Copies of this chain bind each other. A is one copy, B any other.
């Protein structure tokens, strides 16, 4: 599969995570998510759900909604650009250790019988949001495999896809945690796998699917980029920049959540 085909394969699964103040408000995009199960379940990053709660608290109002893309069309018969169907969602479970969270849509498109996309019968045109389930792969990831990230960074009104290689399939995050059956205070190392990707991502990409471009299968969830700093001789203090390396949570941690809540 080439990159354009892989993007089209994943596209229906990708949703915006927005905070909407009221019914008339378009809302602000706080991250990205993707459909993982026909029960109306969406996977995203846990810091996206945490940020959503903080924003709702700050606003004193608002709710978490999903923005489902309506296909771009350059008419005739109609021209559509950057339009979204909106559906409410609730947080089902969060995993702060691995930065993944599961949402459930209030109105499940997979059980609504509503068509996905654009249908034209005679002169009548029916336009519905795109939706579809992501495919997953638990085949081992190799350094250098070509991958892509799709999502809604930088408040852009259209789906954004960036791509590159796996920079390291062996990123790790080791935390000391309480031993399950040990005395209080006895800790053991808890290793959380992660991948590093040579892919440019930005605020808003969090929670989006990271997928192999060879077959469009999702291997992880985009959660962060590494910030680096450098010092110029001509400047008094170092400057910070996006290193170009992004952090990917392996999909297995997300599927653990799904397996506990899918019918």
Q: Do B240 and A154 touch (CB < 8 A)?
A: no
Q: Do A158 and B171 touch (CB < 8 A)?
A: yes
Complex CA–CA separation, A230 to B154 (angstroms): 11
Of B162, B168, B170, the residue contacting A167 (CB under 8 A) is B162
On whether A4 and B144 interact (CB within 8 A), knowing A154-B243, A240-B241, the answer reads yes
Within 8 A of B (CB), among A149-174: 153-154, 156-165, 167-168, 170-172
Of B82, B167, B242, the residue contacting A243 (CB under 8 A) is B242
Q: Do B156 and A3 touch (CB < 8 A)?
A: no
A40 is an interface residue with CB less than 8 A from chain B: no
Q: Which residues of B contact A4 (CB under 8 A)?
A: 142-145
Within 8 A of B (CB), among A208-253: 226-228, 230, 232, 235, 239-245
Within 8 A of B (CB), among A55-96: 72, 81-82
* Bitwise interface map of A from 1 to 31 toward B, beta carbon under 8 Å scored 1, else 0: 0111111100000000000000000000000
Tell me the minimal C-beta distance from A189 to chain B in angstroms.
10
Q: Do A158 and B168 touch (CB < 8 A)?
A: yes
A146 is an interface residue with CB less than 8 A from chain B: yes
Range, interface on chain A: 35 or more
Of B144, B148, B154, B163, the residue contacting A2 (CB under 8 A) is B144
Task: Using CB atoms, name the residue of chain B closest to A213.
Answer: B144
Of B81, B162, B172, B200, the residue contacting A158 (CB under 8 A) is B172
**Interchain residue pairs with CB less than 8 A apart (19):** A4-B143, A72-B170, A82-B170, A82-B172, A143-B161, A144-B148, A153-B245, A154-B228, A156-B171, A157-B172, A158-B171, A158-B172, A160-B245, A162-B244, A163-B198, A200-B244, A203-B228, A228-B242, A242-B242
Known contacts A154-B243, A161-B168, A162-B165; 9 further A-B pairs (Cβ under 8 A): A4-B142, A81-B172, A82-B172, A144-B148, A144-B161, A148-B165, A156-B245, A159-B170, A160-B196
Nearest 8 Cβ contacts at the A-B interface? A200-B244, A3-B144, A4-B144, A158-B170, A239-B240, A162-B198, A158-B168, A4-B142
